[in-house]
Amino acid sequence: MIFLKNKPTGLDQLTDQQLVRAILGETDPKKQLLAQEELYGRYAEKVYFKCLGLVKDSDTAKDLTHDILVKMFLSLSKYRGEGAFRGWLFSMVYNHCINFLKKQKRLQPEDLEELDLPDEEIEAEHKYLLELRLLQLEQLIGQLTDTERLVLLLRYQEGLSVKQMAGAMGIGESAVKMRLKRSRDRLAELFKKLEK
């Protein structure tokens, strides 16, 4: 495979939707490859680092990124251009990584208890998490379990709602709330230990 480097194509001026249409509508294989490369350049790194954040292993993240990007190119025709392309792609990333973690049995089994927890993310004992800083978080994130890290990243880094998380993880909303609460509890507990 030979990549055409630094050739001005004007593809970088296109929006994601226009670029997807260009890839799907292009009959010339060379031009189609250029458009695919442009899309790859926009998202490959983001996908890789998302995978790395979720699975914490560079070789696994590389394999997952490969599979996700191939899947993305093969299912471009399913993207209808209704929402943002990045949202469509990133939901593919979450689903793929969550399925991987489930297959590896790295996610805790679904909670059987269906507690009706409020959406608010406050527990009195967590107030001092307001003191948590990036350096400390970087230390603590590695000590969390896969499930704890996953739910906190999806909620606070990716900004997914409880409903979106439930959809991506294939569990109920109350189970998501419960996992979020337990993950915050654990983060707070680790932070307390670190501060002592």
Partner 1 sequence: MNEKKQSTNQEAEALKRHLENQFQQLRPQGEMPGSLKKNVFDTLEALRLLSDVFDLFTVKFTKVESTVIGSIDSTSAPADKGEEEKEEDQDPSQ
Chain residues binding partner 1 by CB under 8 A are 1, 3, 33, 36-37, 40, 44-45, 48-49, 52-53, 58, 62, 65-66, 69-70, 73-74, 120-122, 126-127, 129-130, 132-134, 137-138, 141, 152-153, 156-157, 159
Helices (H), the chain: 16-25, 29-55, 58-74, 85-103, 134-141, 146-152, 162-169, 173-195
Q: How far is the CB of 81 from partner 1 (least distance, A)?
A: 22
CB of 112 to partner 1, least distance (A): 27
Cβ contact 184:126 at 8 Å: yes
* Closest separation in Å from C-beta 82 to partner 1: 25
Helical axes 29-55 vs 16-25, angle rounded to 10°: 130
CB of 149 to partner 1, least distance (A): 10
**Amino acid present at 108:** Q
Residue pair 24/35 in contact by the 8 Å Cβ criterion: no
Phi first, then psi, for residue 122 (nearest 5°) are -135, 130
Nearer to partner 1, 33 or 171 (CB): 33
CB of 167 to partner 1, least distance (A): 20
Instruction: Decide whether 2 or 112 has the Cβ nearer to partner 1.
Output: 2
Whose Cβ is closer to partner 1: residue 21's or residue 56's?
A: 56
Identify which of residues 70 and 115 has a Cβ nearer to partner 1 in the complex: 70
Of 157, 144, 146, nearest to 101 by C-alpha is 146
| CB nearer to partner 1: pick between 28 and 138 | 138
- Based on its alpha-carbon atoms, the radius of gyration of the chain, rounded to whole angstroms, reads 20
Q: Residue type at 31?
A: K
- CA nearest neighbour of 108 among 147, 162, 166, 56: 147
Q: Looking at beta carbons only, is 110 or 194 nearer to partner 1?
A: 194
Query: Minimum Å distance from CB 10 to partner 1?
Result: 21
